[in-house]
């Protein structure tokens, strides 16, 4: 696998816990991904009780759909999507918080975008030479109602022993202070994991309604947003690599422009992946290495 990042970029990643790589993806690939995401929303028929996404733990909806979404393509509404009478405040296309969490293996456009030698190379350059693509999200951060994502460490939600989860965050649209860009705590990855999010009721991708809980590992507080964080304003096409222990956050979007982003979270194939992780894939749907040739096993299922 050829080098993708420079020595300076690799050093910067290990120093800060994140790395901004401008111009990683071209406009055509972004347009294809965005069109696929919008097609999924267009075809989505909301259930009678829609699933809302929030990372604010008191309000987290850990319902069956969420727990099953590790091997599906699910649509999650913004918390503020609905008016008091239950109708949508904005058009459906402007009401979805995110898609998750297996588009990278189920949707050809996402698969092509994800399994590239460039991304596999970049991730290998920062030390993850046996990366498995575990989870994907398409985040809309909708105009006016785009929700806050509370300060967190990704290893809380995708745990391996040792911690190997690495976030690959792509700006599909420009991310600015106004529309809710990422914020990160430079160097904050050289710290402890504060808590883990566990599926209750045993393993299995579906069929348990026991819900989830947080186990606190270290009561040291995470940095306070936004005071202890720095904004990561980036143009469309930028890749941001995020260490699994790096505290990061994003604000609400009250602006009139959306802030679409696509994330892929990878883990080392050699690390232990406990069966209490919320995300469990069925036996017939194994994870694939990031450097797998795209589309080889990629016919639509």
Residues that bind Fe ion (CB under 5 A): 154
CB of 120 to Fe ion, least distance (A): 21
Nearest-approach distance from CB 222 to Fe ion, in angstroms: 12
Separation of CA 27 from chain center = 21
Cα 167 to Cα 135: distance, rounded to the nearest angstrom? 10
User: Of 295, 301, 238, 297, which Cα lies nearest the Cα of 109?
Assistant: 295
What H or E segment, with its residue span, contains residue 288?
strand 288-289
Looking at beta carbons only, is 238 or 291 nearer to Fe ion?
238
Rounded Cα distance between 229 and 260, Å, is 21
Q: Which residue is nearest to Fe ion (CB)?
A: 154
Closest distance between Fe ion and the C-beta of residue 219, in Å? 21
> Of 125 and 154, which has the nearer Cβ to Fe ion?
154
Pick between residue 105 and residue 154 the one whose CB is nearest to Fe ion. 154
| Nearest to Fe ion of 208, 228 (CB atom) | 228
Residue nearer to Fe ion on the CB measure, 16 or 154: 154
Q: Where does 78-220 show beta strands of DSSP type E? A: 96-101, 131-139, 149-152, 166-171, 182-184, 195-199, 212-216
Helix (H, G, I), strand (E, B) or coil at 229: coil
Minimum Å gap between C-beta 242 and Fe ion is 7
Residue 42, SS3 per DSSP: helix
**Residue 262 is inside which H or E element, if any?**
strand 261-268
- Least Å distance between CB 17 and Fe ion? 12
Name which of 250 and 298 has its Cβ closer to Fe ion. 250
**Residues 158 and 134: beta-carbon distance below 8 Å:** yes
Tell me which residue of 132, 154, 167, 136 sits closest to 271, measured CA to CA: 132
Maximum C-alpha span of the chain? 56
Nearer to Fe ion, 154 or 291 (CB): 154
Smallest separation, CB 54 to Fe ion (Å)? 13
- How far, in Å, CA of 182 to CA of 285, rounded? 31
Q: Are 195 and 156 in contact (CB under 8 A)?
A: yes
Minimum CB–partner distance for residue 207 and Fe ion (Å) = 27
């Amino acid at each position: 696998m050829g080098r993708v990042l420079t020595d300076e970029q690799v050093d910067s990643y290990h120093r800060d816990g994140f790395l901004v790589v401008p111009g990683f993806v071209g406009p055509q690939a972004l347009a294809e991904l965005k069109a696929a995401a919008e097609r999924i929303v267009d075809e989505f028929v909301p259930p009678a009780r829609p699933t809302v996404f929030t990372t604010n733990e008191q309000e987290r909806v850990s319902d069956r759909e969420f727990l099953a979404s590790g091997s599906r393509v699910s649509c999650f509404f913004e918390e503020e999507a609905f008016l008091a009478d239950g109708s949508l405040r904005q058009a459906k296309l402007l009401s979805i918080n995110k898609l998750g969490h297996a588009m990278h293996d189920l949707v050809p456009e996402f698969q092509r975008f994800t399994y590239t030698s460039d991304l596999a190379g970049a991730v290998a350059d920062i030390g993850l030479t046996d990366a498995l693509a575990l989870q994907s999200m398409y985040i809309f951060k909708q105009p006016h109602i785009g929700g806050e994502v509370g300060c967190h460490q990704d290893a809380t939600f995708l745990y391996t022993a040792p911690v190997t989860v690495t976030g690959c965050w792509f700006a599909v649209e420009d991310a600015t202070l106004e529309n809710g860009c990422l914020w990160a705590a430079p160097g904050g990855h050289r710290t402890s994991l504060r808590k883990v999010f566990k599926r209750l009721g045993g393993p299995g991708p579906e069929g348990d309604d026991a819900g989830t809980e947080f186990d606190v590992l270290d009561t040291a507080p995470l940095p306070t947003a936004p005071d202890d964080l720095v904004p990561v304003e980036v143009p469309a096409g930028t890749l941001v690599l995020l260490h699994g222990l790096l505290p990061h956050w994003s604000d609400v979007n009250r602006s009139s422009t959306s802030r679409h982003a696509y994330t892929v979270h990878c883990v080392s194939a050699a690390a232990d992946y406990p069966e209490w992780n919320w995300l469990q894939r069925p036996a017939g749907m194994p994870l694939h290495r990031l450097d797998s040739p795209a589309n080889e096993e990629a016919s639509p299922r």
